[in-house]
């Protein structure tokens, strides 16, 4: 069974465009799982923290396949809290399906899950997220992800003051993405110029959060 985030009394499985990362703008099916081991104060999906809806992997696979899309984005919450069930789900889907997992970088993937995932989108949390340091600081986990050529590191940033904490992690700069800390279209537009300057200064990629530009803070899109 998978514990899926609840949105309007239904499991949160939907078809949309990937809004973040290197595949921004790509059509994909989204599967949002319930439960998280962190509690970021600016999180835009806090509804996923609570009790979700339990669904069989067979039913979830059928729902995903109904969209006839060859790309799947698994997000949360924190998906790696449910690795065993996720592995069973992915075995029910075509090998040709491109699978991305969004994770906060505090839990290492199992070998079985790692083998099937095409892209990892890791979002380590900086101090302004408001989590205890001992929960977010997992250097061994990040070091493992850094060995995977298909892993990208997305940081939600507020200002230049965030850069020392990012640099201290020693991650491959060519796979670092900086995203403005924003949960609405207006906040994104206001925060973007400072993050553009950071990306130019440190020679890393900008992540512009396409979903906010298109749909503002609407959920399930």
Query: Which residue ranges make up each domain of the chain?
Result: 2-155
CATH number for domain 2-155, candidates 3.20.20.70, 1.25.40.10, 3.30.428.10, 3.90.226.10:
3.20.20.70
Q: Nearest Cα to 5, choosing from 40, 35, 44, 39?
A: 35
Tokens 């992997």 sit on residue: 57
Query: Are 87 and 116 a contacting pair, CB within 8 Å?
Result: yes
What percentage of the chain exceeds 90 in pLDDT? Answer: 89
The predicted model scores a pTM of 0.95
Q: What is the mean pLDDT of the chain?
A: 95
% pLDDT > 70, the chain: 100
Q: Tell whether the model's pLDDT for residue 219 goes beyond 90.
A: no
Would you say residue 15 has pLDDT above 90? yes
**Residue 63 pLDDT:** 97
Which long-range contacts does 97-100 make (Cβ < 8 Å, 24+ apart)?
Answer: 97/70, 97/71, 97/72, 98/70, 98/71, 98/72, 99/72, 99/74, 100/18, 100/21, 100/23, 100/28, 100/71, 100/72, 100/73, 100/74
**pLDDT value, residue 122:** 98
Give the tens place of pLDDT for each residue, 47-88.
999 889 999 999 999 999 999 999 999 999 999 999 999 999
Segment holding 6, helix H or strand E: strand 6-7
**Is 90 exceeded by the pLDDT of residue 139?**
yes
Task: Tell me the mean pLDDT in the region 170-185.
Answer: 95
Does residue 221 have a pLDDT over 90? Answer: no
The whole-number pLDDT of residue 209 equals 85
Q: Name the pLDDT band for 3 (thresholds 50, 70, 90).
A: very high
């Amino acid at each position: 069974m998978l514990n899926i985030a609840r949105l309007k009394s239904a499991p949160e499985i939907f078809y949309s465009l990937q809004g973040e990362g290197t595949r921004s703008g790509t059509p994909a099916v989204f599967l949002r799982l319930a439960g998280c081991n962190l509690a970021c104060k600016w999180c835009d999906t806090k509804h996923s923290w609570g009790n979700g809806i339990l669904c069989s992997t067979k039913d979830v696979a059928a729902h995903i396949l109904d969209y006839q899309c060859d790309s799947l984005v698994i997000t949360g919450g924190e998906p790696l809290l449910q690795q065993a069930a996720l592995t069973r789900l992915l075995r029910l889907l075509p090998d040709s399906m491109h699978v991305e997992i969004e994770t906060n970088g505090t839990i290492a993937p199992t070998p079985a899950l790692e083998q099937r995932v095409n892209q990892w989108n890791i979002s380590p949390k900086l101090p302004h997220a408001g989590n205890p340091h001992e929960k977010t600081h997992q250097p061994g986990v990040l070091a493992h992800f850094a060995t995977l050529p298909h892993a990208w590191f997305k940081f939600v940033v507020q200002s230049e003051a965030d850069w020392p904490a990012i640099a201290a992690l020693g991650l491959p700069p060519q796979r670092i993405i900086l995203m403005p800390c924003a949960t609405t279209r207006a906040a994104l537009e206001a925060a973007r110029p400072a993050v553009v300057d950071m990306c130019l200064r440190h020679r890393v990629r900008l992540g512009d959060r396409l979903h906010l530009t298109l749909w503002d803070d609407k959920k399930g899109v």
